[in-house]
Amino acid sequence: MLQAWNTPHQLPPFDQVQAEHFEPAFDVLFAEHLAEIDQLAALNEPASFENTAAAFDRSGLRLERAQLLLDNLTSSETSPELQEVERRMASKQAEHRSRIYMHAGFFARLDAIHAQRDNLSLNEEQGRLLDLIHRDFVRAGAKLQGAARRRYAEVVSKLAELTTAFGQNVLADESEYTLQLAENDLAGLPPFLLDAARAAAEARQLPGWAITLSRSSIVPFLTFSQRRDLREQAWRAWTGRGEHPERDNRPLAKQILALRVEQAKLLGYASFADYAIANRMAGAPAAVHALMDQVWEPAKARFESEKAMLREEAAKLGEPADIQPWDWFYLAEKVRIARYALDDAEIKPYFGLENMIKAMFDVAGRLFGLSFSERHDL
């Protein structure tokens, strides 16, 4: 992680990366990044866009490379060893971010050029970059002083630790659960789902078929399975992620919410919603509520009309009239077929991975003039 990656497009050498490499590499890269910011803060020349905002944007690239590698692996090909690294590194990464974004010397220079931005003859991209960097510093507590500054760093560090634990609990529940199916459990399942379930069972060295809690497995199962008892089992497992006694996310959620309120108030916001939305399109919680108010009553009315259709379909199929959450996908699909001639099982093959990749590249070509060709040597 500290060497140049002499690979095509500098792709990570995944086969050489071990979990135990990350922490010592991060220790070096944290120090390297902080030294870069110290150097920028200590410049004798007057602050300018180039030696402040643009220079900051170029800093820490080796650290970012290592961070992206860890994020990639923990979200796609994780292991107990990597998860332990992720847990240990969460607070360290947050502490490093606080050291950077609360760097008084550098922020003084950044704040000075931001105040003069209208007189700097910046182009649109430069102005946007300066605004974004300055905003990130302010939202990370750069203007706080004394005890408030120290407490903000503590809150951010603890939040990183808690949110990492929260995500890992959900991931563990998803990866451990398997609904194993035998021949007499397959009624209603279309070929594409049977193929996926067979592959999932083989990957887990199980006989028969297996339904997992990944959305691409659980949603089709709830949509097509004629076995109401199995749909209920799967639905309860899906909605119960993070509730197991040994990995209960509810106390973590309470702590996260309390810390988010404190984080927002330290920065002068009335609530975490105000803080979170300040740099989003809506701008303020009131705008979100206004939109919700527009759609809430029509949505409830639509829900009731759809529920009536589901009840009619349930009666035709001899299904119980007390429609439960695990019945909704299944009955909705029956209504689609009966009333609109839309069969998800027939439509699904048109949205296979290869077709979706082609569609995505086509859109990127139309919007941005980019073209893509597959490489088989990477």
Mean pLDDT on 257-286: 95
Maximum Cα–Cα distance across the chain:
82
In the chain, pLDDT over 90 holds for what percent of residues? 84
Mean pLDDT on 140-160: 96
**Interatomic CA distance for residues 193 and 209, integer angstroms:** 10
CA Rg value for the chain: 26
- For 277-335, how does the pLDDT look when each residue is reduced to its tens digit (9 = 90+)? 998 899 999 999 999 999 999 999 999 999 999 999 999 999 888 999 999 999 999 99
Ordered by where they begin, the domains of the chain are: 8-143 (1.20.1050.40)
Q: Using pLDDT thresholds of 50, 70 and 90, give the confidence band for residue 348.
A: confident
| Interacting residues of 47 by C-beta distance below 8 A, sequence separation 6+ | 109, 110, 112, 113
Secondary structure, 3-state, 19-77: HHHHHHHHHHHHHHHHHHHHHHHCCCCCCCHHHHHHHHHHCCHHHHHHHHHHHHHHHHC
Q: Please tell me the predicted confidence (pLDDT) of residue 34.
A: 98
- For 15-45, how does the pLDDT look when each residue is reduced to its tens digit (9 = 90+)? 999 999 999 999 999 999 999 999 999 999 9
| Interacting residues of 1 by C-beta distance below 8 A, sequence separation 6+ | 17, 21, 22, 25, 29, 65, 66, 69
